Amino acid sequence: MKIFCGGSNKPLAETIAASLGMQLSALELFVFPDGEKRVRVEENVVDEDCIVIQSTTTPVDQNYMELFFIIDALKRSGARKITAVVPYFGYQRQDHVFRDGEVVSLEVMIGFLESLKVDRVVTVDLHSIKIPELFHIPVTHLSALPVFADAMKRELKEDAVLVSPDMGGLRGISKLSELLGNLAWVSIVKKRNLETGEIKMTGIEGDTSKLKKRAIILDDMISSGKTIVQAAAFLKKMGVEECHVFATHAIFSKEAPYLLQHSIVDRVFVTDSVLVPEEKKFPKLTILSVADIIAKEL
């Protein structure tokens, strides 16, 4: 078996390889002056099982194209089997038509992967549990919940309640509750304007008497950070003293790091499914690794 990676998250790829007692295999990624990329496999992969690790976050399209090129190069070089490890699967929020005339972008990206004859996809915390059904190849859908549960047991479980920022997160919050000995949980009810993206918190689904000193918000990703900040403010108005956030994918677009650091959120925990550059790190941030849970599936 040989492990390759694109340029989107090399530190995670190196950690996964180390967990397997391996090193990353050599790959040449050359960028022409006009932005086009050329990929060349520098090792013999004939009849080898190959793993390609690439998160498809910002710049999403560039990272996807790099992934496609690496897969094609491996196929042309004689690889026997290819597993695409895509910790963050870009376009996953565009998994169906929200308004007439829209593209289903996620299906387009899945179609590209399948046309390249990828044998298996491994990913972490997709936006919807129904997304694997869109694939016609095997998909291993991993969860960061055990990683989060371990961190919560160490630091935050006492006098706490779990909170889903919307009704779509009920399945995850219920599973996390079980991992924490059936810790109490509630869900925030919100409305989103599909045209403007604006969100309004309207209430709590569940027993509000469960809201205790410490609220732990669970989400699959943080993009702009606005939903998290609004949810924290809403919870503090309900009497919660501390508000901590656990989210798998640190997309951190635009002003998210500044917004989170200067909000009433106490701490933000994310995973390394997405590489967080130094300029986007902030004092309240803690990064947990999903390398071991990925390595166990390879």
Q: Are strands 160-164 and 120-124 parallel, antiparallel or unpaired?
A: unpaired
Residue 34: φ, ψ to 5°: -90, 5
Give the model's pLDDT for residue 209. 74
Q: What share of the chain is helix, strand, coil (3-state, %, to 5)?
A: 30, 30, 40
Give the model's pLDDT for residue 8. 97
Q: How far is CA 71 from CA 4, 7, 8, 162, 269, in A?
A: 10, 14, 15, 40, 32
Q: How far is CA 20 from CA 13, 63, 119, in A?
A: 11, 24, 20
Query: What is the radius of gyration, based on Cα positions, of the chain?
Result: 20
As a CATH number, domain 2-142 is 3.40.50.2020
Catalytic residues: 191
2-142 against 145-289: fold identical: yes
pLDDT, one tens digit for every residue, the chain (298 residues) = 999 999 999 999 999 999 999 999 999 999 999 999 999 999 999 999 999 999 999 999 999 999 999 999 999 999 999 999 999 999 999 888 888 888 999 999 999 999 999 999 999 999 999 999 999 999 999 999 999 999 998 877 678 899 998 777 788 999 999 999 999 999 988 776 666 667 778 788 877 777 778 999 999 999 999 989 999 999 998 889 999 999 999 999 889 999 999 999 999 999 999 999 999 999 999 999 999 999 999 9
As a CATH number, domain 145-289 is 3.40.50.2020
Give the model's pLDDT for residue 194. 63
User: Domain spans of the chain?
Assistant: 2-142, 145-289
Tell me the whole-structure pTM to 2 decimals: 0.92
**Which residue type is seen at 105?**
S
Contacts of 2 (CB under 8 A, 6+ apart): 25, 43, 45, 48, 49, 50, 51
